[in-house]
Amino acid sequence: MFRTRSRTAVRLTLAAIGIVVAAVTAADNGPAETSTGGSFVGHLDRDDAVHWHPADGWSNGGMFNAGWRADHVRFRAGVTSINLSAATCPGGCSGKPYASGEYRTNELYSYGRFEARMKAVKSSGVVTAFFTYTGPTDDHPWDEIDVEILGKNTNQMQTNYFTDGEGDHETVVDLGFDASAAYHVYAIDWRRDAIRWFVDGRLVHQEDGSRGALPTHPQRIMMSLWPGIDADAWLGAFSYPGAPLTARYDWVRYTRY
């Protein structure tokens, strides 16, 4: 026999159900730690110190053969240009023979869609990158998701991801066009159970965790251009052409899930 509930009891029951649903949703879709950034569009036509900052005065080391310099991230003709040059190097380039730029968000971002409209550099030995990253400087393990255009063959894109420093998930995608000849939109769709890469709205690759656990920590959005060293088998040999090389980024968009 059913007993009629009071309105107060019904409201309390619905509230309890809402709490449970919210908790389940968070468990299904939420990251291991909370991100700090919400959805945004970065037009990249000017320096935006509220949301972005350039890396400056240091180098990644290892196979990176350039030091990061803030003056190698420039804003011209409505786009962000990242330049690779030999100006004042190695003295002004963290001991490296070349200088280049990396532009990164101040906040960290979690599951969502990361998009950039960009034009890559064609030159053996260099990488034009759009990626997400976090690591020890953010008090996190090393998590990363990559879009990389290798200058030795700009008709291809390389995807990769790292979880707690474990990588080796590279996949090479044939683009069907020259990424250095015009702007195209590259997207990373990152969810708890999958990472999908899109080019101009077309799905080109996906990972479901079967090759290794997927990243879970919120990450910074980054753009960079860099020459390699001791990586000829991967990137090809780099020879500075005598004039700066420039990667261009028209806009970046993040949609939070």
Return d(Cα 153, Cα 124) in angstroms, integer: 8
Q: What is the dihedral of CA 110, 112, 118, 122, to 10 degrees?
A: 70
* pLDDT at residue 61, rounded to an integer: 83
First-to-last alpha carbon distance for the chain, in angstroms, is 44
Cβ atoms of 9 and 226 within 8 Å: the answer is no
* pLDDT at residue 17, rounded to an integer: 35
Indicate which residue of 33, 102, 107, 148 is catalytic.
Answer: 148
* pLDDT at residue 36, rounded to an integer: 80
- Catalytic-residue membership of 144: yes
Total Cβ atoms within 10 A of residue 110: 24
- Catalytic-residue membership of 148: yes
Indicate which residue of 33, 102, 107, 144 is catalytic.
Answer: 144
Which positions of the chain have pLDDT values less than 50?
1-32
* pLDDT at residue 23, rounded to an integer: 37
